[in-house]
Amino acid sequence: MEFKHLNDLLMKEVYSLDRAHKSSLLIEVLRKVAHHHYNNCQPYQNFCKKRRFNYDKWQQIEELPYLPASIFKDALLLSIPENKIFRTISSSATTSGRSSRIALDKETSRRQSKCFNKVVLNRLGNKRRKFIVIDTPESVGRNRQVTARSSTIRSLLFCAGKTHTCLEEIDGKFNLDDDKFDKLLLEAENAKEEIIIFGFTYILYSVVVRKLLEKKMKYKLKGSKIIHIGGWKKLESEKVSPKKLIADCSDVFGVNKGDVVDFYGFTEQSGMIYPTCEAGVRHVPIWGEVVVRDQLSLNPMRIGEEGLLQFITPIQTSYPGHSVLTEDVGCITGIDDCSCGRKGKTFKVLGRAKQAEIRGCGDIMAEKFA
């Protein structure tokens, strides 16, 4: 199936449209994509019928039905024939021991890569740089079925000049190759080279930053970017806040605080990424939207009010992941008014919902899905 309107939308600049111009374009594309999923994914069609959703009459983004993220742990949902599956991606297992799985065809995979790349380049710039990955060599390997972790790392390598890994996994534990890491950073410092250091949030801080602080080691890597992605649960239990992580990274690597970038994304909408901007908030690109919903009533919330984050995007056409209610809590911080100059809604991720609330929402939605 051709998705010309969707492909046309993806040709535009990432944050170029204000709310008034973006909304009508996005809804037009979402109508076509939602119809595609309705016609080609029977479980999704059943879900929509239960909700009595009328595709011809909806006018607002908030009206679009949403699937709970937990649904993707229960079934591999498809809007394409099985023989068109190009790759499957699995999330890391949660406390429930279950992983989310999504299936991509070649078209969706290319589209996701394009969207991801445009957002990353907008935040990091077009210059290829030395890329230091705080992970193992295996994480940059290539397999047909990949983990969300390796998929994330590999998706960033397009902006790398040369890639280096600095971790070894021994008996299930990560160890930093201190000599290699120090040599790479000193080379960059002496050459006044702007590099990229990437790590998953907990690994970056616990394995690298904390060790450098303890040894009182500091580098001067002005203009370099420190990128991290992943949950905060472990660090928060150790009294490490986002503000402290930014300050400590800025201190040990010698970069501006605005160059410590926190990427947020989730497997169920692979390809969508939300980096913190220079002002410390996250922007929604023109091919997506975010809605905050009350944790009990699931009604939309206003700017500044906390609730569950729902993300909407038409870029996934191989599975019905175009409207997903996550288990993350956040709030909208503004619309078209960020000091960094980018248009669109801005939001913050504040943490995970309580387990009782997650189960309640998931159970209710699962009943409607059947």
> Which of 73, 85, 95, 88 has the alpha carbon at shortest distance from 324?
73
Q: Computed over its alpha carbons, how large is the radius of gyration of the chain?
A: 21
Per-domain residue ranges of the chain: 4-83+277-369, 112-264
- The alpha carbon of residue 195 and the mean position of all alpha carbons in its chain are separated, in whole angstroms, by 22
- Residue pLDDT, tens place only, 32-82: 999 999 999 999 999 999 988 877 778 899 999 999 999 999 899 999 999
- What average pLDDT score do residues 130-159 get? 76
Torsions phi, psi for 29 (to 5 deg): -70, -40
- Residue pLDDT, tens place only, 343-361: 999 999 998 887 634 433 3
Say how many C-beta atoms besides its own lie within 10 A of residue 102's C-beta.
23
Strongest mean pLDDT among 123-132, 230-239, 323-332: 323-332
> Which of 91, 25, 112, 30 has the alpha carbon at shortest distance from 326?
91
The residue behind tokens 């890391």 is 92
> Which of 274, 323, 321 has the alpha carbon at shortest distance from 108?
321
Q: Over pLDDT 70: what percentage of the chain?
A: 91
Look at residue 303 in the predicted model and tell me its pLDDT: 97
- Residue pLDDT, tens place only, 14-25: 999 999 899 999
- What average pLDDT score do residues 312-341 get? 97
Per CATH, 4-83+277-369 and 112-264 having the same topology is answered yes
Say how many C-beta atoms besides its own lie within 10 A of residue 74's C-beta.
15
Look at residue 358 in the predicted model and tell me its pLDDT: 45
> Which of 55, 59, 75 has the alpha carbon at shortest distance from 67?
75
pLDDT band at 143 (very low <50, low <70, confident <90, very high): low
The CATH number of 112-264, from 1.10.1740, 1.10.10, 3.40.50, 2.40.50, is 3.40.50
pLDDT band at 297 (very low <50, low <70, confident <90, very high): very high
Q: Is the pLDDT of residue 145 over 80?
A: no
- What average pLDDT score do residues 137-157 get? 70
**Distance between CA atoms of residues 33 and 12, nearest Å:** 18
Q: Which residues contact 33 (CB under 8 A, 6 or more apart)?
A: 3, 6, 314, 317, 322
Q: State which fold the 4-83+277-369 domain adopts.
A: Rossmann fold (3.40.50)
Rounded alpha-carbon distances, angstroms, from residue 318 to 90, 105, 267, 274, 312: 15, 6, 14, 22, 15
- 351 conformational bin, left if phi > 0, alpha if psi -120 to 50, beta if neither: left
Among 24-28, 216-220, 227-231, 329-333, the least confident range: 227-231
**Distance between CA atoms of residues 179 and 189, nearest Å:** 15
SS3 content of the chain, % helix, strand, coil (to 5): 40, 25, 35
- What average pLDDT score do residues 130-154 get? 75
Q: Is the pLDDT of residue 242 over 80?
A: yes
- Residue pLDDT, tens place only, 79-119: 999 999 999 988 876 555 678 999 999 999 999 999 999 99
Look at residue 56 in the predicted model and tell me its pLDDT: 73
Is the pLDDT higher at 91 or at 218?
Answer: 218
Provide the pairing of β-strand 345-352 with 282-283: antiparallel
Contact predicate 147/90, CB 8 Å: yes
Contact predicate 102/321, CB 8 Å: yes
Mean pLDDT rounded to a whole number for the chain: 89
pLDDT band at 146 (very low <50, low <70, confident <90, very high): low
Q: Is the pLDDT of residue 315 over 50?
A: yes
